[in-house]
Amino acid sequence: MMHIGLAGGLILLLLAATTQPAQAAQEEWRAFWVVRGGDLHSEEAIDRVLAVHKNMNFQAAFVQVNGRFEAYYKSSIVPQAPNIPEGFDPLAYFVERAHQEGIEVHAWINAFTASPFGTFSTDLKHVIHAHPEWVTHDRTGQSIRDYDAGHAVVDVIPAVFLEPGLPEVQTFVAAMVREVAENYAVDGIHLDYIRYPSPDYGYHPDNRRRFEAAYGVDPLDLAQNASSLAERLGLDELNKLTAAWDQFRVDNVTNVMRHIYWDVKRVNPDIWVSAAVVAELENDFAIRRRFQDWPGWIREGVVDAVVPMAYSPDGDQVARQIRQAALVVGSRDRLVAGFGAYQISDPDAMAALIQRVRLESEPGGLALFSYGSSVAEDGYLERLRELAF
């Protein structure tokens, strides 16, 4: 896994400043995000994935083995993902072959995205059927299980979210992750969507009851009747209650992160726990708009590394977000820069951006989203390898 000392960091910086970008980061830790689906459905497909990693000099793969509470592995907790051949265990094969090639496998698991909107699993054991009461609610008090596909917003709320504040959800998600750590020789656990979709969510009846018991106000009143509350309580008190409600949701997510991290470390302290996190930190966006206090996770030591998802075709924005993350994280060994290669179709521009981030922020590693989108562009990876790897 990624262990780069001071000497290695100085070497990386010097190399990155040379005119030989293909040699720019020989000690750099690199990964593709490998999205669930066809790339995991057969031995041949997995062999192709690993061949690309090897050719690109990538040492690791974030392999999405659970994106909608369906397993690309043998599970007694969640049903198997569809279209996997009978008797085939994608994660077991991926781990076996990757380790033969010297490539790390980090099991990528979505924490709360349980199901597509409007199109549910046919397996009645799936959590969307077994526990509909675990789904989060919006600011109108409606369960988002009732949403249709038109409610999906890419990168914000792509699916039905479970409610992070429910103890039952926290226990279930942690057990789902722990099962992988216990049963597979993975090098890491990589968490995604470990957050709320936006401030419009989290209004589950149990959350509302707990918050009202502590603060004397139903959060739905904060969302729907702020003006009348301000008149009755005063603006300062309203602002304090609103901040408390936001912090309540931050704490819900952080509690899940703690639960997962320490569960995994009890299984095997060498398993590297990372999280794909919201890259935007200005105005406390990640914390106050997604309730994902990943800077706090770093300070508390409940994540080994973060991967800010700086997905944008705007290179200045990407570079700024990674610079901010580097300042917050402090240790380069705990920062992997996440690039949205799917948004930058010109490999020359992608390589130039990678070089810029290396020089300005010196992350200990980088990850490209995604393997599938990159191999779909003819010649993209060959050119990118020539220029950057």
User: Secondary structure of the chain in the HEC alphabet?
Assistant: CCCCCHHHHHHHHHHHCCCCHHHCCCCCEEEEEECCCHHHCCHHHHHHHHHHHHHCCCCEEEEEEECCCCECCCCCCCCECCCCCCCCCHHHHHHHHHHHCCCEEEEEEECCEEECCCCCCCCCCCHHHHCHHHECEECCCCEHHHCCHHHCECCCECCEEECCCCHHHHHHHHHHHHHHHHHCCCCEEEEECCCCCCCCECCCHHHHHHHHHHHCCCHHHHHHCHHHHHHHHCHHHHHHHHHHHHHHHHHHHHHHHHHHHHHHHHHCCCCEEEEEEECCCHHHHHHHHHCCCHHHHHHHCCCCEEEEEECCCCHHHHHHHHHHHHHHHCCHHHEEEEECHHHCCCHHHHHHHHHHHHHHHCCCEEEECCHHHHHHCCCHHHHHHHHHC
Does residue 23 surpass a pLDDT of 90? no
169 in Cβ contact with 160 (< 8 Å): no
Per-residue pLDDT band for 355 (boundaries 50, 70, 90) equals very high
- Which pLDDT score, from 0 to 100, does residue 17 have? 40
Q: Enter the pTM of the model.
A: 0.93
Which whole number is the average pLDDT over 295-307?
A: 98
Crossing angle for the helix pair 205-215 and 235-267, nearest 10 degrees? 120
CA–CA gap between residue 50 and residue 229 (Å, rounded): 58
Residue pair 32/370 in contact by the 8 Å Cβ criterion: yes
Residue 346: CA atoms inside 13 Å, Cβ hemisphere, count? 7
Structure tokens that stand for 237 in this block: 């008190």
Residue 165 to residue 195: CA distance in whole angstroms: 11
Spatial contact of 27 and 8, defined as CB atoms under 8 Å apart: yes
- pLDDT at 22 (0 to 100): 42
* Statement: residue 218 has pLDDT above 90: yes
* CB distance 53 to 44 below 8 Å: no
User: Mean of the pLDDT values across residues 354-377?
Assistant: 97
Bridge partners (DSSP) listed for residue 137: 143
Which of 156, 140, 137, 249 has the alpha carbon at shortest distance from 203? 137
Is the pLDDT at 7 greater than 50, yes or no? Answer: no
Report the C-alpha gap between 332 and 353 in whole angstroms: 18
User: For residue range 126-159, what is the model confidence (pLDDT) as tens digits?
Assistant: 999 999 999 999 999 999 999 999 999 999 999 9
Rounded to an integer, the average pLDDT of 100-125 is 97
Which residue segments constitute the domains of the chain, with CATH numbers given? 6-13+25-388 (3.20.20.80)
89: its two tokens? 């265990």
Structure tokens at 137: 């609610």
CB 349 within 8 A of CB 314: no
Q: Is the dihedral of CA 254, 258, 260, 265 positive or negative?
A: positive
Mean pLDDT taken over the chain:
94
pLDDT band at 1 (very low <50, low <70, confident <90, very high): low
Each residue's pLDDT tens digit, 51-87: 999 999 999 999 999 999 999 999 999 999 999 999 9
When pLDDT is averaged across residues 371-379 and rounded to a whole number, the result is: 94
Which residues lie below 8 Å from residue 142, measured CB to CB, with a gap of 6+? none
Structure-token match 């909608």, residue found: 68
State the pLDDT confidence band at 2, using cuts at 50, 70 and 90.
low
The pLDDT confidence band at residue 27, using thresholds 50, 70 and 90, is: confident
- Does residue 26 carry a pLDDT above 90? no
